[in-house]
Copies of this chain bind each other. A is one copy, B any other.
Amino acid sequence: MEKREAGELANQLRLKIGLTWEDLASAISRPPVWTAAAILGFHPIPADQARAVAELLGLEDDAVTAMQRQPYRTADDSLRSDPTIYRFYELLQVYGPAIKELIHEEFGDGIMSAINCNVELGRVAHPDGDRVRVTIEGKFLAYQW
C-alpha cells in the first residue's frame, strides 16, 4: 500500500466513524495541521503514533507500515485549482514579491525555511463574518557559503 492510498483510506474511515482531525491530533499529541498532512501522506509518522492512528480508525498493518515510510512530498498540480487551495496560490501571486522584499529588509539575504517550519490554522470572530487565520512560522536561513 502506497502512503497516499493509506491516507485516503484513513480519511474515509475517519469520516465514517465521525472523528475530526482535531480528535486524531489530540490522540497522538501533535498539532492538527501536522497530523492531517502526515496522515494524508506528507510526513513519516513515528511507529507509536502510526499504531495509535490505526487503532482509532481500524486500519490494517500495511497501512501502519505505509504511514511510517519516508514520503516523496511531490507537488500534485491537479489540486492547485481547487478553489479552497487556489486562494493561497493567488495570495502568493499578489503578495509574494512584497513578502520577499520585507524578508530581505528585515533579515538580509536568505529564506524562511519550509523544513524547520510550522503552520497553524485558527478562527477569528468578526462582526462581518468570521475569518480564517493561517500562521506560518519558519526559521530564517541566511545564504551562507
Contacts and interface: CB of A to CB of B under 8 A. Distances in A.
Contacts of A130: 107, 139-140
Interface string A121-145: 1011010111111111111111111
A118 B94 contact: no
Copies in the complex: 10
Contact of A99 (B15, B119, B144): B119
Bin the interface of chain A by size.
35 or more
A83 B115 contact: yes
Contacts of A78: 74-75
A90 B86 contact: yes
Nearest to A1: B12
B133 A121 contact: no
Nearest to A130: B140
A101 interface: yes
Contacts of A101: 11, 21, 36, 40
Interface in A42-94: 42-44, 65, 69-70, 72-76, 78-94
